């Protein structure tokens, strides 16, 4: 196949147009990435929201903790409650004229823990509340850590946005040069 300078020039022009179009898309994406970085700035919406979420989570946890403690206390006290029991031993004797007479021959005194089942249920609820409070602490700590890293995250997003803008400019320049070379060969 023979070398055709005009065909090569036309192909270079098409490639240059594609590079320029791609550079515009890359520049648009970089600008949008920069807008995301603006959302992450100090005292911005994301920063304030994360602070609110952390505070709310910690507040909820601090409200639940005494409830769990109180329920543990109630369960312990209910488990300790004893109810006295009495068993009376009797004996019946039939008298011919009087009839049947019962005599108490002994009394057995004991006790029962009748609230054990209720105490166990309350203890289970208290344990569940303790687990929720522990999970809320973990969530709040995680949000705090991300919140603390927000400036670094924002910087990385801004750096990525700038790198995209620089690449878009270089790609646009390359496309422009490619088109110029194509016009030189095609004309």
102 vs 131 pLDDT, higher one: 131
Q: Which residues contact 66 (CB under 8 A, 6 or more apart)?
A: none
Separation of alpha carbons 59 and 64, rounded Å: 9
**How crowded is the C-beta side of 65, counted as CA atoms within 13 Å?**
10
Q: Give this prediction's pTM.
A: 0.66
The whole-number pLDDT of residue 187 equals: 82
Classified as helix, coil or strand, 81 is coil
Confirm if 108 and 86 have CB atoms less than 8 A apart. yes
Backbone angles phi, psi at 56, to 5 degrees: -65, -40
* pLDDT 10s digits, 151-163: 999 999 999 999 9
Residue 94 has pLDDT above 90, yes or no: no
Q: What's the mean per-residue pLDDT of the chain?
A: 92
Instruction: Render pLDDT for 36-92 as a digit per residue (tens, 0 to 9).
Output: 998 888 888 899 999 999 999 999 999 999 999 999 999 999 999 989 888 989 899
| From 25-34, 46-55, 104-113, 140-149, the region with the lowest mean pLDDT | 104-113
pLDDT (0 to 100) of residue 99: 86
Q: What's the CA gap between 46 and 147, in Å, rounded?
A: 9
Radius of gyration of the chain (CA): 41
Dihedrals phi, psi of 83, to nearest 5 degrees: -110, 130
């Amino acid at each position: 196949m023979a070398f055709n300078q005009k065909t090569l020039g036309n192909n270079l022009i098409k490639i240059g147009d594609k590079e320029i179009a791609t550079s515009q898309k890359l520049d648009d994406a970089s600008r949008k990435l920069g807008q995301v970085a603006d959302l992450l700035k100090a005292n911005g919406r994301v920063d304030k929201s994360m602070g609110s979420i952390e505070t709310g989570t910690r507040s909820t946890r601090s409200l639940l903790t005494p409830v769990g403690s109180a329920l543990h206390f109630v369960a312990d006290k209910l488990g300790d409650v004893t109810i006295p029991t009495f068993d009376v031993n009797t004996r019946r004797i039939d008298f011919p004229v009087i009839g049947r007479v019962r005599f108490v021959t002994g009394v057995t005194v004991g006790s029962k823990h009748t609230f054990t089942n209720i105490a166990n249920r309350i203890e289970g609820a208290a344990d569940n509340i303790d687990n929720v409070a522990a999970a809320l602490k973990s969530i709040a700590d995680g949000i705090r850590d991300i919140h603390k890293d927000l400036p670094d995250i924002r910087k990385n997003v801004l750096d990525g946005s700038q790198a995209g803008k620089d690449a878009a400019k270089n790609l646009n320049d390359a496309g422009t040069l490619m088109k110029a070379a194509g016009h030189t060969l095609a004309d």
